[in-house]
Amino acid sequence: MKKTIINTIGILALITSITSCKETQNETTPTEVQEVAVVENAQKYIVDTTASIVEWIGSKPTENHTGTISIASGAVNVLGNEITGSFVIDMNSITVTDLEGKGKESLEAHLKGTAKEEQEDHFFNVVKYPTSAFEVTGVTEKDGKKMMQGNLAIRDKNKNIEFPVSYRVDGDMMTLSSETFTINRTDWGVNYGSQSIFDNLGDKFINDDIEITIKLVAKKI
């Protein structure tokens, strides 16, 4: 009886994890790389790297982990409702925010691929791929929301995605934030622990979807 109860709890945890993942809003559907948008006579804003951040959530059946990644550099060009820009993301800055001590250090090293040689390519392999990048290819309106399209390069793959954003210009400052959206990490070749790639993982798999929220602050030049 006790074993049956434990197995039932495990199955329920697995179902809950899969269901919550499927219900995540703003799941992106990657397409082929698009031409980068050009807006002439736009006002240029340089990203404040100390005030801008990428937040992430990764999950598996038993737990979630949260963290941040720093933006190393970037610029936004604004002309009315038209926006262009590009950003460099520092993958060496991957930080886990829900753990402390050795657990935090271990997970950060695993994500970066710096813990053990045989683990270097499990996730982001920051030695080989120290940066990721995002280039804006357009901003459109859909269902009353502004949707930003752009080429997201992670590791050696580059794909176009779109997600909802809001932005405002106040004096010399421009702020832009996204709604939380998801990317499927396997679309960029990050396959470790993926149930859609590997068989017989049981409840040891890691969800393919990563939730991302982008917050940018930029100053006019």
- Specify the number of domains making up the chain: 1
In eight-state DSSP terms, residue 185 is G
pLDDT in tens, 166-206: 999 999 999 999 999 999 999 999 999 999 999 999 989 99
- List phi, psi (to 5°) of 2: -60, -40
In angstroms, the CA 134 to CA 214 distance is 11
Domain that holds residue 37: 2-220
First to last CA, the chain: 69
In angstroms, the CA 210 to CA 171 distance is 34
DSSP string for residues in 131-194: EEEEEEEEEEEETTEEEEEEEEEETTEEEEEEEEEEEEEETTEEEEEEPPEEEEGGGGT--TT-
Give percent of the chain with pLDDT exceeding 90.
82
Residue that is written with structure tokens 């460099």 in the block: 88
Taking Cα atoms as reference points, which of 130, 149, 141 lies closest to residue 33? 149
Which residues, 6 or more positions from 153, have their beta carbon under 8 angstroms from its beta carbon? Answer: 132, 133, 134
Q: How many CA atoms lie within 13 A of 11 on its CB side?
A: 6
Least confident of 14-18, 90-94, 117-121, 135-139: 14-18
CATH code for the domain of 32: 2.40.128.110
| pTM exceeds 0.85, yes or no | yes
pLDDT exceeds cutoff 70 at 5: no
CA 124, 85, 217, 219 dihedral sign is: positive
pLDDT in tens, 81-120: 899 999 999 999 999 999 999 999 999 999 999 999 999 9
